[in-house]
Amino acid sequence: MCLAIYWGLEMTSATQPEFGTLDEIDTRLSKAQAEGLIQLKPISENLGVEVEGVDLKQKLSPDQIAAVYDALIRHKVLVFKKVGLNHEQQVRFTYELSEASPNVGAPTIGHTVFGHVDQYPEVFSIYQGNKSRPKNMERYEATAAKDPWTGYHCDITACVNPPSIGMLRGEIIPKGVGDTNFGNLAAAYATLDDATKREVEHLQAEHEYKFGKTKGSEAGDSIASRRMISHHPLVTVHPDTGEKVLYNSPGFLKFVVGLSREESDALLHKIWAHSVTYTIQHVWDEGDVVVWDERSTTHRAPTDIYSSGEERQLYRTTLVGQPLQGLDGTVSQIVEGEPMLSCEEELASRMHVGRTGTSTTGNSFSGAFPEPTTQ
């Protein structure tokens, strides 16, 4: 399937950013703040803002949705502190964001591999605690500490059209542990040396959904039933801002197409180490809602929950994304599997019947890796 046709898009190297330059987005945001539609408080120079003046418990106006989306594509991570949404309100906000740009799709099913929570098919439960404690904690902790990029990922990049937007809300939050890291992949590309930029600008990388020894387990059977392998450009162009993005997802990215294993590993380790320079750490409070642009950021789950003896419960929604476009107009290609579909389409397939929609199934094998304990 040609996903450009699937999306009804004509993808070429001449594609213009849908929402204008960063300066134009900044101008709109300044106007929105002056008009009281939204208030933004920068988190760091790398990325992220805290958002005030937007009541997520209420239906948002088109102007508010536009301001929130401008803030998202400009700052990449939005933090709404102590909002306290329920499932219904989170789902409503997710659908509102799906209308913000033609480059954003409908909400996905809670998790395209592991299903959804009862009665809310758009919601995926992410739990860490004693019920999901890894069997081998020593191996888990050693893996988590192996490299500075370990655990960083963009969600489900093994799919040809990975999510465009991710959203989490915190319900049970332990004190002193359980933070989530986010990284800016546009800044990572912008600060590469010129020689590395030339090296990576036309390369493709293979992404696969596969973790450890999972065969025969419930999680492993779920992964096998939704097998996904895709090739994505290593440098992509954000469809709404035109930013160049060093699109790398250590949890899913297996190798660079066309390079030897040694060459691929050396290059990937170099860009992975570089990419985690531009990060923030979100310290959760109960009721927080965090929204991030999956097309220009990476993130990492905490690895300190289990040793603390605490529990952590988050709920995630995501929005369907597009095939990614490279600097020369090339787009992502399916090697194996099917594209990510909307929640309605996934439910019609009945692929998820009988699955729990919670990450507890996978924590025993995923350890420091991104899925299904993703955030």
Confidence of residue 6 (pLDDT cuts 50, 70, 90): very low
Domain range list for the chain: 3-7+18-366
Alpha-carbon distance 108 to 318, whole Å?
Answer: 6
Give kind and range of the element (H or E) at residue 245: strand 244-246
Over range 240-246, report the average pLDDT: 97
CA 3 from centroid of its chain's CA atoms: 20
Average pLDDT over residues 139-156: 83
Mean pLDDT on 181-192 = 97
Distance CA 234, CA 198 (A): 12
Find the mean pLDDT for residues 83-100.
98
282 falls in which pLDDT band (50, 70, 90)? Answer: very high
Average pLDDT over residues 162-175: 97
Token digits of residue 342: 């909307």
Where helices occur in 191-300 by DSSP H, the ranges are 194-200, 218-225, 261-275
Would you tell me the crossing angle of helices 62-75 and 22-34 to the nearest 10 degrees? Answer: 130
pLDDT at 287 over 50: yes
Tell me the mean pLDDT in the region 283-297.
98
pLDDT at 27: 98
Range in 101-110, 247-256, 339-348, 360-369 the model is least confident about: 360-369
Containing 30, the helix (H) or strand (E) segment is: helix 22-34
pLDDT of 1 reads: 37
| Mean pLDDT score across all residues of the chain | 87
- More reliable by pLDDT, 101 or 349: 101
How far apart CA 141 and CA 305 sit, in angstroms, is 11
* Cα 221 to Cα 226: distance, rounded to the nearest angstrom: 9
Q: Which two tokens stand for residue 225?
A: 């039933």
Asked if pLDDT for residue 217 goes beyond 80, the answer is no
Say if residue 372 is preceded by a cis peptide, omega within 30 of 0.
yes
Residue-wise pLDDT tens digits, 52-88: 999 999 999 999 999 999 999 999 999 999 999 999 9
Dihedrals phi, psi of 244, to nearest 5 degrees: -85, 135
Calpha distance 115→174 (Å, rounded): 26
pLDDT for position 373 = 42
Pairing of strands 204-208, 253-256: antiparallel
8-state DSSP, 187: H
Lowest mean pLDDT among 84-88, 120-124, 129-133, 175-179: 129-133
Q: What integer pLDDT is reported at residue 279 of this predicted model?
A: 96
Q: Is the pLDDT of residue 143 over 60?
A: yes
What phi, psi does 187 have (nearest 5°)? -65, -35
Q: Do residues 272 and 248 make contact, with C-beta atoms less than 8 angstroms apart?
A: yes
Q: Is 286 left (phi over 0), alpha (psi -120 to 50) or beta?
A: beta
Mean pLDDT, range 201-225, rounded to an integer: 73
Is the pLDDT score of 365 beyond 50?
Answer: no
- The DSSP symbol for 46 reads S
Q: What is the pLDDT of residues 12-60, one digit of tens each?
A: 344 578 899 999 999 999 999 999 999 999 999 989 999 999 999 999 9
**Amino acid letter, 215:** K
pLDDT band with cut points at 50, 70 and 90 for residue 221: low
What is the average pLDDT across 264-276?
96
Tokens of 105: 């799709």
In sequence order, what are the beta bridge partners of 232? 205
Strand partners, 115: 111
How confident is the model over 173-182, as a mean pLDDT?
95
11 pLDDT higher than 50: no
pLDDT at 220: 60
Residue 2 has a pLDDT of 41
Residue with tokens 């369907």: 320
Q: Which CATH homologous superfamily contains domain 3-7+18-366? A: Clavaminate synthase-like (3.60.130.10)
Beta bridge partners of 358: 125
- Cβ neighbours around 142 below 10 Å, total: 12
The pLDDT of residue 139 is 74
